[in-house]
Amino acid sequence: MNDFDTRLGDALRDRVRGEQPDLRQLTEGSVRAGTRIKHRRTAGIGAGVLAGLAAAAVVAIGLPGGGTADPGPEVGPAAGSSGSSAPTLDEECLERLDDFRVSHGKMPADDSALDDYVNGLGEQEGNPPSTREDQLKAMSPRLCEEPPVEEDSSASVGKQDLPITFALEGWNCDFPADDKFPCSGPNDAWLSFVVRDAADHDYWADDADKGGDPNTVWVSEVHDNYFVSVQGKLRGTPLDDVIEGLTFAPTWER
């Protein structure tokens, strides 16, 4: 650290020293938004699955000691013939049910009303109890499985699918698809950045046509387990600028 570095650090700290967020508002807003994010993870579950979840809720809550982590022996996908390896609807599952209930306007917010609601559904549809039990058996694994950690889908630096980013003034890029992402620039220029396995580098680097594609404008060096090929039309953008705009992660984590 030299003198300028030190002064810069001090100046940055001084500039924001008095800044204080509203922590209560921040917490409440984050919990609400975070809960919505969790719910979106289950958004792919279709209407039929929702009915299954509701049925699962009724059976789980209707168990002896309902609302606790003590599931009955009949709860679980393997219940029935053997019943020996049935996963349990533990407290984590019930927590998710709680989240689910609160997040869906159609669902009553208290357990007894939920019970009535789902029972009503069953009666309306003429489903015998055994059908709801089957639904529970089908649904409980999904209800209890660990949801995936949300990942940003962008190509930004950090935890991402692709180990490179590209940022150059006047250029815009789309989200990655598979192992590549396209970008467009001034004068209808376009480029496609493709992340490739390091084992293929010799083929791409040695071939006069760079992999047989005349649109290939540049091939990077190998970075640990990957390299990048750039294909497209520069249309006036200097290749050096494109290369300068690339950022490489140390490793391609696939």
User: What is the contact surface with other proteins in residues (CB under 8 A)?
Assistant: 3-5, 7-13, 15-16, 19-21, 23, 26-27, 29-38, 91-92, 94-95, 98-99, 149-150, 152, 154-160, 163, 165, 167, 169, 172-173, 223, 247-250
* Residue 92 or 213 having the CB closest to other proteins: 92
CA 123 to CA 12: how far, in whole Å? 65
Which amino acid, residue 248? F
Query: What SS3 class is residue 53?
Result: helix
What separation, in Å, do the N-terminal and C-terminal C-alpha atoms of the chain show? 36
Please, what is the minimum distance in Å from the beta carbon of residue 219 to other proteins? 18
Minimum CB distance to other proteins, residue 180 (Å): 16
In the complex, minimum distance from the CB of residue 68 to other proteins, in angstroms, rounded to a whole number = 10
Handedness of CA 249, 223, 246, 172 (dihedral sign): negative
For 26, the token pair is: 């921040």
CB of 7 or CB of 235, closer to other proteins: 7
- Is the Cβ of residue 23 or residue 47 nearer to other proteins in the bound state? 23
Give the nearest distance from C-beta 36 to other proteins in angstroms: 8
Q: Which helix (H) or strand (E) holds 182?
A: strand 180-185
Q: Which is nearer to other proteins, 15 or 106 (CB)?
A: 15
Give the torsion sign (CA, 159, 165, 167, 172).
Answer: negative
In the complex, least distance from residue 198 CB atom to other proteins, rounded to whole angstroms:
16
Q: Which is nearer to other proteins, 79 or 162 (CB)?
A: 162
Smallest CA-to-CA distance from 157 within 86, 237, 248, 238 is with 248
Could you tell me if 217 and 234 are in contact, meaning their C-beta atoms sit under 8 angstroms apart? Answer: yes
Q: How far is the CB of 212 from other proteins (least distance, A)?
A: 30
Q: Which H or E run includes 185?
A: strand 180-185
Q: Which is nearer to other proteins, 78 or 246 (CB)?
A: 246
Q: Which residue has the tokens 């679980």?
A: 76
